[in-house]
Structure 1
């Protein structure tokens, strides 16, 4: 399949993105040479609420398409018909701005031992931006689509594949009607090419793979995308039914036409075999101190700052440990509070001279807390019950707090 093949052109694309972002991002290790991947250069990115475009991660598999925005259209297919020009998307429907924490489903993959997947992300594949665009609900209802029960919206990207696979992702129609938008601006600027220019689907609170870039088609269906579901050549279901599925080693995921929940954690608890990466799991990252230089203790307290998020759910609690997880202390959530976007947290630490390991862990409103580690490959079924996240063959949806570690040397001035 095309999604398994290396892509030589990615290196030039990465170099151009790094240059355009002026050092705010850096390439991420991808031994299989399949993806264009850059992540935030500095941990301090995660001590601020808004992520500048220059520091926002990028991840995609195919080459970026050549774009003529004046002639670009989004086809409406399946249970509705038509086509939307960019002018219609921008000017014939309401405009909204959505705060959204975009996280790659492979974020944290580098925790897995043995290694899995191709892109060895640490924690750097996440960022929060304001996305401006048109509510999907207004477009659907304008075309007499408003009954969500049991139906799905499939988005197809216009990025060309090296193989015969079509980049298509399906989300429940109920989610599309709730809060999704067709985004054409990012932080008040025209959507950058590497982020999906001229338009992408934006699915708040869900892993980035669902927010299809270079959007070319929206299709209302009675099921998720399966092979042969689209009226176009090539294979249709790889990116929904095979890639981005969470499963043990050596398992071939079963194809589902529908599932009852988009909550990834609920699927992991047994609702779906080989869960789909939809709603983001609870996660946190310490941004400051950044661990890159010693902390000069000019005062008696060092402020620890970071971010925490939980997809469609709210972050209920954030804890910080300064001794590698032996003891935990409640931190304070503060700053902007938007559905689908991360929260800032801070903790006043009375630091003593020496080397300290800082760790954060978040708990969502449903009581689900970041686990301490990734399980062994053979411990899939017991993982969540033993404070571990299941090792999985693709390395998806990992949220153990281990990668948020910062080694800090405190010195007195």
Structure 2
């Protein structure tokens, strides 16, 4: 069993990251005192489509490895046997750029009542970047992998654990071949160390835990990672089979070698006993107004509400906004870039009356799944879905309730405007 013990070095890492990102991020409370975690410092991050590296959240458990691109290799194991240098990954295969909304599976954990352990995220652990790298399809087919049906790809990180666990995550090979890349650039720049340098797996639209940093092994096999499935010492299955599973309190999830339903929400609706966190649930966040200062209407009396919405592998179909805490709703307009696996911008011209208002947004995906209002009490479990609630779960994973992400805004008079639009 993996034990969460404090890691003194994380404090120095956090300070260095905050300093390097020039105030675009801020530390997040970590009850385990184990994780290196920083999140977007300003709500306005969520008013723009592309997240600058300086504002992109960071989350990892182990120390950042001393990666040297000239010496680093990625081993292909299981059904294939090969070793690739970073130079081969960059030069031998086509370079593709993918837009990906990365969201920590624990985003919203701090909104659970009672609190669950570990990192107490609000909504700040989500971001969209452009990741450039080699498509996994090209790499795997080059090494004879043709069929994806019933097959899994396990990525192993090269970050050194202070215990005996190995950070390994499995995704269906079908997803890996469809749109995943081994990335070596982020927003057109060399991959930063805290984001996985020299090479990281990018799984568009899926929770951040699946996007393994510092990749050193890719294993093609018939099953997800289970204990003993890797040719190395240590505990192999914790991060797949125990952590990042959605379940009620005091429950030990059963190990599965494979599952049929990988859509996280489908699993929540009964597809898997204790769901795995794979693709992201439908979600939205208002970026502006940010509530930090009074909002002044334009000459026509309106205030633009702008934000982002995403839905994992699925498309966002609709975003609604409310200026009265969810009592009444109006449709917002979706606009801007529209890429699979990345969030959409939304906006709404709000006829704002002077005074204090509670702004919230809720998104609906193409499968008619809509953000619930709140997070349930612990004992509700899956019955919560019937009551417009997201199930409280012991790990605090995959939460997407809209009320906790609302923003209180003070609206001034249009007469206070300087006349500009």
What range describes the TM-score normalised by the shorter chain of this pair? over 0.9
Q: Which residue of 1 aligns with 2:51?
A: 51
Q: Which residue of 2 aligns with 1:274?
A: 274
Q: Which residue of 1 aligns with 2:287?
A: 287
Aligned 8 A contact 2:269 2:382 in 1: no
In the TM superposition, 1:24-103 aligns within 5 A as: 24-103=24-103
The secondary structure found in structure 2 opposite 1:227 is coil
Q: Distance in 2 between matches of 1:321 and 1:353?
A: 16
1:2 CA displacement: 4.3
1:89 CA displacement: 0.1
The secondary structure found in structure 1 opposite 2:412 is strand
1:3 CA displacement: 4.9
1:182 CA displacement: 0.2
Deviations 1:159-204 (A, max 9, x none): 0001000000000000001000000000000000000000011000
Q: Which residue of 1 aligns with 2:104?
A: 104
Aligned 8 A contact 2:297 2:303 in 1: yes
After TM superposition, the runs of 4+ consecutive aligned structure 1 residues lying more than 4 A away are: none
Report whether the alignment pairs 1:122 with 2:122: yes
Q: Distance in 2 between matches of 1:36 and 1:262?
A: 28
> Is the alpha carbon distance of 1:48 and 1:3 closer, same or farther for their aligned partners in structure 2, counting shifts above 3 Å?
farther
The secondary structure found in structure 2 opposite 1:37 is strand
Q: Distance in 1 between matches of 2:357 and 2:2?
A: 46
Q: Which moved more, 1:27-36 or 1:237-246?
A: 27-36
In the TM superposition, 1:5-404 aligns within 5 A as: 5-299=5-299, 300-404=301-405
Q: Which moved more, 1:343-352 or 1:401-410?
A: 401-410
Q: Which residue of 2 aligns with 1:411?
A: 412
- The count of aligned residue pairs is 413
Deviations 1:10-30 (A, max 9, x none): 100000000000000000011
Q: Distance in 2 between matches of 1:303 and 1:68?
A: 46
Deviations 1:286-306 (A, max 9, x none): 000001111122421000000
Q: Distance in 1 between matches of 2:394 and 2:117?
A: 7
The secondary structure found in structure 2 opposite 1:306 is strand
Gaps of 5+ in 2: 417-421
1:403 CA displacement: 2.5
Aligned 8 A contact 1:2 1:161 in 2: no
Deviations 1:63-93 (A, max 9, x none): 0001111010000101000100000000001
Provide the aligned C-alpha RMSD in A: 0.7
Aligned 8 A contact 1:354 1:409 in 2: yes
Gaps of 5+ in 1: none
Q: Distance in 2 between matches of 1:99 and 1:117?
A: 31
Q: Distance in 1 between matches of 2:117 and 2:170?
A: 22
Q: Distance in 1 between matches of 2:40 and 2:242?
A: 28
TM (normalized to structure 2)? 0.97
TM (normalized to structure 1)? 0.99
Aligned 8 A contact 1:109 1:120 in 2: yes
